Amino acid sequence: MSGEDHTNYQRPLFWAIILLGLVLFVKCEPALTTPETDTANTASKYKTSNVVIVVIDGPRFRETWGDPSKRHIPFFANELAAVGIHHNRFYNCGATYTTSGHAAITTGSYQWMANDGSEIPYYPSIFQLWLKESRMSSSKALVVTSKQKLGVLADCVSPALRGKFNPMVAVADREDRETLSTALELMKQFQPRITLIHFRGPDLYGHANEWSSYLQSIEETDNYSYQIWRFLQQDPFYKDVTTMMVTNDHGRHNNNVRDGFVSHGDFCEGCMHINFFATGPDFHSNLVINKPRQSVDIAPTIAELMGFKHQTFTGSVMWELIK
Ligand SMILES: [Zn+2]
Ligand SMILES: [Zn+2]
């Protein structure tokens, strides 16, 4: 150590800078400590025992909640809005494709994946993490989809969980009304605690360049979402202890981008801006929130409600939803 260094310790300015640094460090610490590092089992804090996530594949915000008339989502507008929360500025900030968009929701991490079902997510999903934590049988987590390729959501590359604690899956290329009835039957029979239900309609008819069918499928999935909510209100197992979230994997191009509503997959506003609606016993109701949020915030929020560990999530808990 040189003599010059030694004299530094005797200067008031030196100590003032050290003290200021300490004060700033202590002051900033709460902001630097993200909620997801709190991995204690917090399930008992909440009334939620079950979570149902509905993913409607690829409608645009502007034809759904972003339309002031909300003419294509009458059940959300007239029945569900009053009992839940809608985030007006919710985005998929990762790859705006179907498998990547779903993986962001279920793993809480963005990752670029093949969109043909040939690649499973790297990070573990809420299904695997929760089944591992709870030690319940695989039928207590369920994935029901209208696209077969979404079977990839059941597993992950991450060595600790690959091939383990996989949820029950009911995946097929089929009509959304069949997916709805399959989902409700499986929920009645197995009473899964975490369920994902996927509807393909808006994406299918968007790619087919069939505008009126695209709008009609938005209306159908609005109706199906309401039917799921009604089931949760009436079923003795789910009633009063179930949180329901409805979101999208991605939107579609804005009208001035490429082929407009027909396709998706880039970072245009239309592709990234999606919906997020949530209702449940621990959430506020009749509320619209404008704080920007992302797909990867869904998994940490579910983990907080269900009380399991989530070190691999990059999103954060949506505390603003919780009462
Ligand atoms: Zn999609
Ligand atoms: Zn786009």
> Which ligand ends up closest to the CA of 201?
1
Query: Ligand 1 centre and the CA of 183: distance in Å?
Result: 19
Query: Ligand 1 centre and the CA of 149: distance in Å?
Result: 11
Domain match, 108 and 7 both: no
Q: Encoding tokens for residue 304?
A: 């907080």
What's the confidence (pLDDT) of residue 219? 98
Name 266's Cβ contacts closer than 8 Å, sequence gap at least 6. 96, 253, 257, 258
pTM for the model stands at: 0.87
What's the confidence (pLDDT) of residue 11? 53
Query: Ligand 1 centre and the CA of 22: distance in Å?
Result: 48
If you average pLDDT over residues 139-164, what whole number do you get?
Answer: 97
Query: Ligand 2 centre and the CA of 148: distance in Å?
Result: 24
Tell whether the model's pLDDT for residue 40 goes beyond 70: no
Domain match, 25 and 120 both: no
Domain match, 155 and 303 both: yes
Domain match, 107 and 28 both: no
Domain match, 23 and 65 both: no
Q: Say if residues 230 and 246 touch (Cβ distance below 8 Å).
A: no
Query: Ligand 1 centre and the CA of 66: distance in Å?
Result: 19
Name 208's Cβ contacts closer than 8 Å, sequence gap at least 6. none
Query: Ligand 2 centre and the CA of 293: distance in Å?
Result: 19
Domain match, 43 and 28 both: no
Domain match, 241 and 219 both: yes
Higher pLDDT, 82 or 312: 82
Query: Ligand 1 centre and the CA of 31: distance in Å?
Result: 34
Query: Ligand 1 centre and the CA of 203: distance in Å?
Result: 6
If you average pLDDT over residues 138-152, what whole number do you get?
Answer: 98
CATH number at residue 193: 3.40.720.10
Tell whether the model's pLDDT for residue 29 goes beyond 60: no
Domain match, 174 and 94 both: yes
Backbone angles phi, psi at 96, to 5 degrees: -90, 55
Query: Ligand 1 centre and the CA of 221: distance in Å?
Result: 14
Range of the domain at 22: 3-32
What's the confidence (pLDDT) of residue 311? 84
Specify whether the backbone of 102 is left (phi greater than 0), alpha (psi in -120 to 50) or beta: alpha
Query: Ligand 2 centre and the CA of 198: distance in Å?
Result: 21
If you average pLDDT over residues 68-81, what whole number do you get?
Answer: 98
Domain match, 9 and 57 both: no
If you average pLDDT over residues 288-308, what whole number do you get?
Answer: 97
> Which ligand ends up closest to the CA of 145?
1
Query: Ligand 2 centre and the CA of 290: distance in Å?
Result: 22
What's the confidence (pLDDT) of residue 21? 44
What's the confidence (pLDDT) of residue 107? 98
How many structural domains compose the chain? 2
Name 26's Cβ contacts closer than 8 Å, sequence gap at least 6. none
Tell whether the model's pLDDT for residue 41 goes beyond 70: no
Q: Encoding tokens for residue 212?
A: 């009126």
Domain match, 10 and 103 both: no
pLDDT confidence band for 308 (50 / 70 / 90):
confident
What's the confidence (pLDDT) of residue 35? 37
Query: Ligand 2 centre and the CA of 96: distance in Å?
Result: 8
What's the confidence (pLDDT) of residue 39? 39
Domain match, 9 and 110 both: no
If you average pLDDT over residues 154-169, what whole number do you get?
Answer: 97
